[in-house]
A = this chain, B = another copy of it.
Amino acid sequence: MAEENVKFATRPTGVGEMFQLLRDGQPRTRADLAATTGQARSTIAARVDLLLAAGLVTPTGEAVSTGGRPPATFAFNPGARVVLAVDLGATHVRLAVTDLAGTVLSEHHEPLAIADGPDVVLDRVATIGLTLISDAGRRLADLAGVGVGLPGPVEHSSGRPINPPIMPGWDDADVPGHLGQLLGVPVLVDNDVNIMALGEHATEYPQVDHLLFVKVATGIGAGIISDGQILRGAQGAAGDLGHIAAPGGSDVPCRCGNTGCLEAVASGQAVATRLRAQGFDVATSVDVVALVRGGNLVASQAVREAGREIGGVLAACVSMLNPSMIVIGGVLAEAGEHLLAGIREVVYRRSLPLATQHLRIVASQTKGRAGVLGASAMAADHFLSSEAIDNLIA
């Protein structure tokens, strides 16, 4: 729109907004930005100077000249700051320090019982975090934020767990307050499946706007990306796939108190229980995967049957949400094609052509790292938002 309207403008900076154009990492000249935004060269130049001074943008060389002195190019500098990404499970934790583009600089994985409670667990997280920052050759002053995934429902706005079933002592715990106090930066918290969806989306499929990430492990849950954003619902409980009734109408009791829940018939735990009843020596999802990988036919069939049950519930999700991609992750997805084959079989049979003609159902590409990559993306996105950049520069 026309420059003569500038008299009505009072938006304070617009630096953060312009910065969003640079987040793809492509080198650009001031003239490129002026052409893209339609804004005055002088305005663009002033904004770029602020971003260069803050280190968020670095010179990247010179563009091809069209005559005269070649114009300087510059690009987003993802190494300007680092974030700490934390993926807490029931019995272990995975942490990484990444740059602002999600490149892992240092990482660590260790057993840690969530049942030890928030004080013990979060203190340990902060201690490991400090070590990882140092391992990455950076200082605490470089830390821009912390992203945390928790194995239970979280009120995203406050970062507090809400009645988490497998996290004794954590109900309403002030996770952002505790870690923020120790590390001095903003702390973003979400449930583990949401951050896995975010990690897979940010790393592998940033161009896919409607994606469903399904974790099949001891339990079953889903993270929903809708219009490029995590869909949380009214209480942050959206994506709770595990307690939808499996189509088979089974009466297997579920830990939630109901019967026939998908989790009770098709989780890694459910498959292990079924195989144990058939005389196999399996305790966990990991044991099931080992059996399948060893070529055991009964185990492969049990996993494929679990896939069919999951497919029945996912067919309903496809009709409701119309995603263009379903990513299957979690330990049981590591059993190879058997789980996916069962899922695909039922989803393609039970959904309408309009919803499945462009639908892809794939295995997770980030493997065990989806959680930390998502926690990193969540913290980096917060730090690099237009508003945050405007505040940082102001």
Contacts and interface: CB of A to CB of B under 8 A. Distances in A.
A105 to B, nearest CB: 33
A238 B10 contact: no
Interface string A232-250: 1111111111011101110
A325 to B, nearest CB: 8
A38 B252 CA distance: 60
Given A247-B247, A320-B317, A355-B240, A2 B12 contact: yes
A176 interface: no
B1 A6 contact: no
A319 to B, nearest CB: 4
A386 interface: no
A163 interface: yes
Given A1-B13, A6-B10, A7-B46, A243 B39 contact: no
Interface stretch (A120-128, A308-316, A334-342): A308-316
B241 A319 contact: yes
Contacts of A46: 7-8
Nearest to A43: B10
Given A10-B3, A46-B8, A256-B352, A323 B233 contact: yes
Name the residue in A239, A248, A316 with the highest tally of chain B Cβ atoms < 10 Å from its Cβ: A316
B43 A8 contact: yes
A15 B8 contact: yes
A162 to B, nearest CB: 7
Interface string A90-106: 00000000000000000
A321 interface: yes
Name the prevailing secondary structure of the A interface residues. Answer: loop
A72 interface: no
B210 A315 contact: no
Contacts of A349: 258
A277 interface: no
Contacts of A233: 210, 226, 321-323, 355
Copies of this chain, complex-wide, total 2
A209 interface: yes
Contact of A10 (B39, B245, B394): B39
Interface in A258-290: 258
B355 A237 contact: yes
B13 A5 contact: yes
B209 A10 contact: no
A11 interface: yes
A130 B11 CA distance: 42
Contacts of A317: 316, 320
Contacts of A239: 320
Contact of A5 (B241, B248, B313, B394): B394
A7 B15 CA distance: 11
Contacts of A5: 12-13, 394
B352 A240 contact: yes
Given A2-B394, A247-B249, A354-B153, A320 B9 contact: no
B350 A245 contact: yes
A182 interface: no
Given A237-B319, A245-B312, 17 more contacts: A1-B12, A2-B394, A5-B13, A8-B13, A9-B13, A224-B320, A227-B231, A233-B321, A233-B322, A234-B324, A235-B358, A237-B352, A238-B321, A244-B320, A258-B349, A317-B320, A320-B321
27 contacts: A3-B10, A6-B10, A6-B12, A8-B15, A9-B14, A153-B354, A162-B354, A222-B320, A227-B231, A231-B321, A234-B359, A235-B354, A235-B355, A237-B352, A238-B322, A239-B320, A241-B319, A241-B320, A243-B352, A244-B319, A244-B320, A245-B247, A245-B350, A247-B249, A256-B352, A258-B349, A320-B321
